[in-house]
Structure 1
Amino acid sequence: MLLAERQRALHMTERAVAEKYGWVQQTYSAWKRGTLPRPDVRDAIADFLGLTREEVDKLCEEAIERAAPGIGVFDTAQQHGKVSDRKEGRFKFEPIQHGYGVSYIPRGRYFVRIETNVMEPVLLYGTRAWVDPAVWPKPGNEVIVHGAKGTAWIGRLEAVEGQKVRLSRYGLPDVVVDSHEAIHVIVLAERVMAAG
């Protein structure tokens, strides 16, 4: 909450703040949503907030203590996106109103329903997969790659070369997304379809 208040007071966008302090915009956004920053970036956060490093460390410690045990990704995530092409593993995300306008890319953890078999046996048809934008994508991760105007693809991250992202799928040819806007990592998936 302090980060968002300070950003508003400075009349800066997330992008401007991230660029000024050398942070990845997605990471800064995750901090604003409550993800705790690593100790090696807390000096810069203290500078941004006009606090001492000790005050920032104390705030982080208090946040850890306040975190409710048992509240997990299952309880707080909302569903976003729907499969628009089962054969290709393509999703369509609806526009979402954020503080600075409309975006097709969800902020914070969310889940998708796997209504395609392009990722079987890892992600089973009819199950849910939870996605965390705060996790930095690495080759080998199962991911959702967001393209323009709400289009996204599911797959296993093989390579990122500039704006091109190459995804593999099980038993299918690789897919190349020519211009991506975000890569979100799937951090958890059901192994059996939920009842109801």
Structure 2
Amino acid sequence: MVDTQFKNPLLKAFLDELEHLELYQQYCKSPNEWLKKLIDERFMQFYIRIRAISYFSKIIYFTARHFDMERRKYEKRYVLTLDGSSSDGNGSKKEGTSTLKELIVDESATVHFPDKLNDELNQYIQHPLLYKAVQSLNKRQQQILFLAYVLNISDTEISKKLNVTQQAISKSKNNALAKVRRLINA
């Protein structure tokens, strides 16, 4: 082990290598000029190796920082079309807008509503009279009621989802509810 008399971390690291420690201990037992030169020579080799490692580490660090800085500058200067922010028709950016890439709809991730409508709607209706009344509605009305009351989506969001006006959704929903009330009360 390294003697505690050495406080210099470089000397401690040098003597942590078994070969160097043995040479040092041999020199302490019988000091001679040949061992002293050998230890000095090995220490110089060790020191040069440490300096080279330090030098290359610094070069790598500063080159990486410079590369990152240049890459960010390039990305800021040459924004990809899809990375640009969406804007209204006048070219002015809206507050809270997202990038064009975020506006792309993944068709594979969306569930086609008509395929799932009957199964999901049946799960939520327990009363037999209400179930029968809802089944008498057309698919569009069932879809609107499902979105509005089961998924708790606003009329505006439903209109965007179904590509119709908000007024048409409101009217269709009110007609469906009126028809359900009529059938339950009859």
Report the TM-score when normalising by structure 1: 0.25
| Higher Rg of the two aligned structures | 2
Report the TM-score when normalising by structure 2: 0.26
